[in-house]
A and B are shown apart, each in its own frame.
Chain A
């Protein structure tokens, strides 16, 4: 990246203009978040009078109201569903990806191709049969049906990502281990997995975000009040507190908080995960 060879006035003006555009768009990206957080710290009267100002007398009333509502329960439910489904997905996908990467079997490429296509099948299409299946078993409003469905939905992308990584492990290492008498399982456990830290973390972060934010399936499968996840909870929450915007915004801030933490710690992995679905170019 070399630029600014000749800093003529026009070039300088161009640079300033670019900077201004960036500032403008960064502001637009951040403003709703700013309003969410500042409003969560105001009282209703304060918010209505000065919606844009910085809270001069921060009030935690909104947070108290939200936390005394059902937030702790929703939070726990989301935690259970998300951690169980992501844990299972990553484990199953890692095993399957090894089956794809280590052996050359007939039809392998076609199956991988099908997996890629499944990544973009809209969940709403699968919803009706899955719901009826769950209802037949009496599993509506249980976590296990939702976890099963989440795992199934996350598998295609997960297998695809890990297969590509495993394929890149040099064959010589694998063969060396196998000549020494290591079984396939042993090779996988002692050679492949220890080498796969970064992609496994990437996959975990991306899946965590997906499962934490998922609304449609959770809405349909978890109908009883005690089983609702955070995302289902907050969509109903806004109606009950329509007269207290600070409470609504406090609830939204609480719901976003885990993501911000995850993002701050795993930003690198997160960006890697998002771009890993994309093409490399020709």
Chain B
């Protein structure tokens, strides 16, 4: 970086003298921040204030907490929230798998880049594409089941997305499949940047694979694991709309087996023409995410920037 600077400086300096020198127009930071400020105030500020207002109104008239009462007592909303809560159980699984892959990749020299790209591939694919492809493969007579039957594993050939008792588990598995690559890359990036002396010393002392990583690697990975876990918790509570929408044709089915809060909000607002109820549900969703957002903020603000600037 320094070399680029020393060459850039003499080149640009003479240019600056003429026009710029006479009229130094410096207005401070505000003109710079203004365009972004307008954009953010519109998309976030205006929306959040308007949403909050709507959640207390019905057809323009103030109704206090009525909308909230209706939403909270709606069995479908309760089901949706319950499903989001169940999805949170994928977070420890994601963390464990990502940790395992990252450490294995870190330890493997042969083919590391290939495996890395392979594990990362699902994270790159658009969720609608993932949803459509899995939706087709997991049909009762889809590719997966015909493969299982050919192997003589008939009893494992379930109705993955059509059985109400199975659908949410299948959905979780697909989400894990998609999201684990992100954690692997995050943790691997951190692992590579760790000082190696401690690990080498442990190795010389004869520490085995598990002892070495449990005692030395894991404690140093704590911040990045925490970041990933919070990030995924936010995903499970409020960013799973795409999966459900695509795989169930926007229904959250079979029945309400995969209904989640986002889909509930979407359907209340745009299919049932009840934006007030949707607004109340959205406020509740935001409040329940707030807990994780605060956690995200705390983890984030403890460090200046990411693993980016090496």
Residues on A facing B (Cβ under 8 Å) = 1-3, 5, 14, 18-19, 21-22, 25-26, 28-30, 32-33, 35-36, 39, 51-52, 92-93, 95-96, 98-100, 102-103, 105, 113, 115-122, 124-133, 148-149, 151-153, 155-156, 159, 161, 164-165, 167-168, 170, 173, 176-177, 180-186, 190-191, 194-195, 199, 202, 209, 212-213, 215-216, 219-220, 231, 234-235, 237-239, 245, 248-249, 252, 255-256, 259-260, 263, 267, 270-282
Contacts and interface: CB of A to CB of B under 8 A. Distances in A.
A256 B125 contact: yes
29 contacts: A5-B204, A28-B177, A29-B177, A33-B125, A35-B133, A52-B146, A100-B33, A117-B296, A122-B289, A124-B262, A124-B282, A155-B40, A161-B306, A161-B308, A164-B304, A164-B306, A168-B305, A181-B20, A190-B8, A213-B128, A216-B266, A235-B246, A255-B129, A271-B120, A274-B186, A275-B308, A276-B305, A276-B306, A279-B226
B44 A118 contact: yes
A100 B149 CA distance: 60
A128 B304 contact: no
Contacts of B110: 19
A278 B238 contact: no
Contacts of B42: 148, 152
Contact of B285 (A125, A256, A279): A125
Interface string B198-230: 001001100001000000000010011011100
B308 A152 contact: no
A19 B108 contact: yes
Nearest to B212: A3
Contact of B220 (A100, A103, A267, A281): A281
B222 to A, nearest CB: 8
Contacts of B104: 18, 21-22
Contacts of A36: 129, 133
A93 B231 CA distance: 23
Interface stretch (B21-29, B70-78, B152-160): B21-29
A272 B269 CA distance: 38
Contacts of A28: 177
Given A152-B40, A164-B304, A164-B305, A173 B285 contact: no
Dominant SS at the B interface?
Answer: helix
Contacts of B27: 184
A239 B249 contact: yes
A105 B28 CA distance: 9
Dominant SS at the A interface?
Answer: helix
Nearest to B111: A22
Contacts of A92: 35-36, 39
A183 B119 CA distance: 48
Nearest to A23: B115
Contacts of A93: 36
Contact of B265 (A124, A190, A273): A124
Contact of B16 (A26, A177, A219): A177
B186 A278 contact: yes
Nearest to B2: A170
A131 B127 CA distance: 23
Contacts of A129: 46-47, 50-51, 54
A237 to B, nearest CB: 8
Contacts of B185: 271, 274-275
B31 to A, nearest CB: 8
Nearest to B18: A181
Contacts of A115: 40
B113 to A, nearest CB: 10
Contact of A125 (B126, B200, B286): B286
Interface string B241-253: 1100110010000
